[in-house]
Amino acid sequence: MIRLNRSVVIAAFSLFFVSLFSAHGAGNDAQPLIVLKAARLFDGKSKALITNGVVIVQGTTITDAGSNLPIPSGAQVIDFGDATLSPGFMDAHTHVTADYTGNFTERRLKTLETNVSELALMAIPNARVTVEAGFTTVRDLGSRFEGSHDFVDVALRNAIARGIIVGPRMLVATYGIGATGGHFDDTAGFRDLLFGREPDYTDGIADGPDAIRKAVRFQIKNGADVIKAAVSGGVLSMTDEVDTPQFTPAEMAALVDETHRLRKKIAVHCHGDQAAREAIEAGVDSIEHGSFLKPETLQLMKTKGTYLVPTLMATEWILGKIDAYPPVLQAKARAAGAARTEMFRNAVKLGVKIGLGTDAAVYPHGQNAKEFKLMFDLGMPAIDALRAATSVNAELFGIAQKVGTLEKGKLADIVAIPGDPTADITATERVSFVMKEGKIVKNTAKP
């Protein structure tokens, strides 16, 4: 139900004229108020929903949120009825510029045939479906196209921020950093020197502490908000084992030290237990995937405050389409998939900080919210899965002062979920309303 009172117009006009004559000019006060109401509200951090939720938005910002708040006169009221208001979801692990679905080998060759401008344009609908799924902020953990030095993720982030295209707020990693022949070395599996030279720090490939420092500096110089590195093998790479360590402790120490000196977070792709232990000891901010982590390693994460981003969607998708991958990758996917269930259950039991992340691009963009049910099915309470996607991720991203909760002063990133997501977690897959920074991106709610 949308009610736009005549008084809102009058109020807006009078505020406009007041601001014309005020010392500060046309400030936030001149902007109309929008009030969002629903039967329930999840504030992003509490252990339970509250009833009769109200969020008051002015301009880009939440001015108040809570239960049964009085409606300011002149406000536009949107009442969602039997629904739950929540902070916009956040995905800690996406690749919005990429699409890794379909037959692996065909897709790999097709990408080599396609010019990078075309690949960049193909990312536009990916960005739209992601925000329309309720994900108002994402970390984009690696974007590279073999032989190209275009920073497509930086361009996409900036175009979204300028309002040129519709998408989530993006924190991008540019090229993930990895070792020669490791998970991020895209020339691995092709004939030697097919691409004319061995990749180097300008491709994110670095060996030795000094080269790794240079690679970190190069990414940040070119627009990285967050640093991503592959410290163990991975599933979708042709020549490495899925769990081998790919950086030495000295290399990891340099990686973490350089990243933190430049005041960025370091997210590491890691399936293997030994690599994870060394990375956690070096002080990384998050372990992405973590398939083979032993309880002792998870306990170390708990002690050090390291986040786990389990990306259950990625293995789920690959295992469901296993024939689309070459046999060597099938074996790696099966091993990681078999290990991750116990790992995730242990992490929940131990109280490791868990952020929601999906590895979007491995599965079709826009299905990010399916991760909630996977986490729930493996033993995480629904309310904690919701927190993982909101306040926990906001802390992991280092932007908790701006987003992640419905509180006065936060940016108005708000979604409406039909019904009660703590009674049916799959309701997160059907958000009917998305607001990003005070702008309505989607509204399919029935009045």
- In the sheet that holds 307-309, the strands lie side by side as 227-230, 266-270, 286-289, 307-309
In whole angstroms, the minimum distance from the beta carbon of 355 to Zn ion comes to 14
Contact between 273 and Zn ion by CB under 5 A: the answer reads no
Residue that has been written with the tokens 């502490």 in this structure:
209
Residue 278 touching Zn ion (CB under 5 A): no
Contacting Zn ion within 208-237 (CB under 5 A):
none
The residue range among 155-163, 351-359, 384-392, 419-427 that interacts with Zn ion, by the rule CB under 5 A, is 351-359
Judged by CB under 5 A, the stretch of 167-175, 343-351, 359-367, 383-391 that binds Zn ion is 359-367
Is residue 295 a contact partner of residue 339, using CB atoms and an 8 Å limit?
no
Q: Which long-range contacts (CB under 8 A, 24 or more apart) does 111-114 make?
A: 111/145, 111/146, 112/146, 112/147
To Zn ion, the closest distance from the beta carbon of 111 in angstroms equals 16
For position 359 contacting Zn ion by CB under 5 A, the verdict is: yes
Minimum distance, C-beta of residue 375 to Zn ion, in the bound complex (Å): 17
Candidates 109-117, 355-363, 368-376, 403-411: pick the segment binding Zn ion (CB under 5 A).
355-363
Phi, psi angle pair for 92, to nearest 5°: -80, -10
> In terms of CB distance, is 265 or 442 closer to Zn ion?
265
Q: Which is nearer to Zn ion, 267 or 406 (CB)?
A: 267
Stretch that binds Zn ion, among 114-122, 213-221, 222-230, 353-361 (CB under 5 A): 353-361
Nearest distance, CB of residue 202 and Zn ion, angstroms: 21
Q: In the complex with Zn ion, which residue's Cβ is closer, 92 or 352?
A: 92
Site for Zn ion contains 413 (CB under 5 A)? no
CA angle 240, 309, 282 (to 5 degrees): 70
Minimal CB distance residue for Zn ion: 359
* 140 binding Zn ion? (CB under 5 A): no
User: Which lies closer to Zn ion via its Cβ, residue 359 or residue 413?
Assistant: 359
- C-beta of 54 vs 215, nearer to Zn ion: 215
| Residue 111 vs 299, nearer CB to Zn ion | 111
Q: Does 251 bind Zn ion (CB under 5 A)?
A: no
Number of residues that bind Zn ion (CB under 5 A): 1
Distance CA 288, CA 268 (A): 6
As measured in angstroms, the least distance from the Cβ of 95 to Zn ion is 6
Within 198-324, strands assigned E span 227-230, 266-270, 286-289, 307-309
* Contact predicate 94/445, CB 8 Å: no
C-alpha dihedral (320, 351, 405, 79), degrees to nearest 10 = 60
Task: Name the minimum Å distance from CB 93 to Zn ion.
Answer: 6
Q: Which stretch binds Zn ion (CB under 5 A): 17-25, 322-330, 334-342, 354-362?
A: 354-362
Check binding of 91 to Zn ion (CB under 5 A). Answer: no
Q: At what angle do helices 116-132 and 152-161 cross, to 10 degrees?
A: 50
Contacts of 101 (CB under 8 A, 6+ apart): 107, 317, 321, 361, 362, 363, 364
The answer to whether 415 and 434 are in contact (CB under 8 A) is yes
Binding region for Zn ion (CB under 5 A) out of 117-125, 175-183, 212-220, 356-364: 356-364
Q: What is the distance, to the nearest Å, from the Cα of residue 412 to the centroid of all Cα atoms in its chain?
A: 18
Ranges within 71-90 binding Zn ion (CB under 5 A): none
Helix intervals (H) in 305-363 = 312-320, 327-350
Distance in Å, CB of 205 to Zn ion, minimum: 17
DSSP label at 310? Answer: -
A 10 A CB-CB count for 359 gives: 30
Q: Which phi and psi angles does 44 have, rounded to 5°? A: 100, -20
Q: How many CB atoms lie within 10 A of CB 293?
A: 31
- x-marked contacts with Zn ion along 47-76 as a string, rule CB under 5 A: ------------------------------
What is the contact surface with Zn ion in residues (CB under 5 A)?
A: 359
